[in-house]
Amino acid sequence: MSNFVPKPFNDLSKIALKKAETVVCWGKTLIVAPHPDDESLGCGGAIALLRKHNLEVGVLTMSDGTLSHPNSKKFPPEKLRDIRESEMIAALEILGVSSDKVKFLRLGDRRVPGENATDFTAAVETIKDFLAADQPETIVVPWRRDPHPDHRATWQIFSAANDLFDVKFRILEYPIWLWEMAETKDLPRENEIEIWRLDVSETIEKKQRAIHAHLSQTTDLIDDDPNGFRLSPEVLAHFAAPFEIYLEEIK
Ligand SMILES: [Zn+2]
């Protein structure tokens, strides 16, 4: 499967390095992570750059992440949730975001409601209220067709919430599982999306440390679940580049 990384993601050199725009244009930014670790993998370099420029960064985590090691006796769901949340706080501390800026919605892992779910409207209302109070200038969410149901559902909730505002928030999207698991239908379509690279060479070292602060996802910290999840070297390699990929809808 790792050989199947369809265009345009199989040739990063063809994706433009957008020099005209830096994170300074993002202003106050809300980073949305379906699970603890998506923020560091997808946007860690940008987060550290934003903070370097003294821009406010908030982070909203949708799910509790408790399905990464569903059979662990040492880490039953509540303990696993706590450890994943504390890892995320540690990771964001490295990137320059203090714990009071990090919020956890604690929806069920793999149960973030997508547009066909009965509790979708309630989730959209929650996010609408959150955005009305928080007023970010830029919202960064997973790619709309990222091959994980929670990632897609997260985009759907934010997209629907944004539709409820007269003046729309700027939304950027980041890929996580698109690299490894995309089918052709998951990829950006012609004239749908602008794709660009953000140079994060200044902050890549911090980003790597933040990713590896998620010890439960990158080490044998939880060693009693043979089916436990672990980020593979192949997956991690996509997030070791000195740039991040962002996608923005063409209006
Ligand atoms: Zn995720």
**CATH code (residue 220):** 3.40.50.10320
Mean pLDDT of the chain: 91
CA-CA distance, 69 to 136, in Å (whole number)?
33
Residues 6+ apart with CB under 8 A from 221: 83, 215
Q: Which of 143, 152, 195, 220 is nearest to 174 (CA)?
A: 143
Q: Ligand 1 center to residue 2 CA distance, Å?
A: 18
Give the mean model confidence (pLDDT) for residues 87-108.
98
Q: Ligand 1 center to residue 150 CA distance, Å?
A: 7
What distances in angstroms separate CA 9 from CA 88, 103, 145, 210, one per listed residue? Answer: 27, 31, 14, 24
Give Cα 243 to chain centroid, integer Å: 15
Q: Is the pLDDT of residue 69 over 50?
A: yes
Three-state DSSP state, 202:
coil
Domain assignment present for residue 6? The answer is: no
Q: Ligand 1 center to residue 151 CA distance, Å?
A: 6
Q: Ligand 1 center to residue 147 CA distance, Å?
A: 10
Domain assignment present for residue 63? The answer is: yes
CA-CA distance, 77 to 109, in Å (whole number)?
10
Domain assignment present for residue 228? The answer is: yes
Q: Ligand 1 center to residue 211 CA distance, Å?
A: 13
Q: Ligand 1 center to residue 152 CA distance, Å?
A: 10
CA-CA distance, 4 to 147, in Å (whole number)?
14
Q: Answer whether 34's CB lies under 8 Å from 65's CB.
A: no
Domain assignment present for residue 152? The answer is: yes
Q: Ligand 1 center to residue 185 CA distance, Å?
A: 20
| pLDDT single digits (tens) 233-242 | 988 988 999 9
Q: Ligand 1 center to residue 17 CA distance, Å?
A: 25
Ligand 1 (single-atom ion) residues, CB below 5 Å? 34-35, 38
CA-CA distance, 84 to 214, in Å (whole number)?
7
pLDDT value for 188 = 85
Amino acid identity at 26? W
| Full residue range of the structural domain in which residue 23 is found | 12-249
Total domain count for the chain?
1
Amino acid identity at 203? T
Domain assignment present for residue 5? The answer is: no
In total, the chain counts a number of residues equal to: 251
Q: Ligand 1 center to residue 6 CA distance, Å?
A: 21
H helix runs in the chain, sequence order = 38-52, 77-95, 120-134, 149-163, 178-181, 204-212, 215-218, 233-238
Which pLDDT band, with edges at 50, 70 and 90, does 9 fall under? Answer: low
Q: Ligand 1 center to residue 35 CA distance, Å?
A: 5
Q: Answer whether 204's CB lies under 8 Å from 24's CB.
A: no
Share of the chain above pLDDT 70, in %: 92
Domain assignment present for residue 4? The answer is: no
Cis peptide upstream of residue 8 (ω within 30 degrees of 0): yes
| pLDDT single digits (tens) 98-140 | 999 999 999 999 999 999 999 999 999 999 999 999 999 999 9
Domain assignment present for residue 117? The answer is: yes
Q: Is the pTM of this model over 0.85?
A: yes
Q: Ligand 1 center to residue 137 CA distance, Å?
A: 23
Q: Ligand 1 center to residue 34 CA distance, Å?
A: 5
Domain assignment present for residue 3? The answer is: no
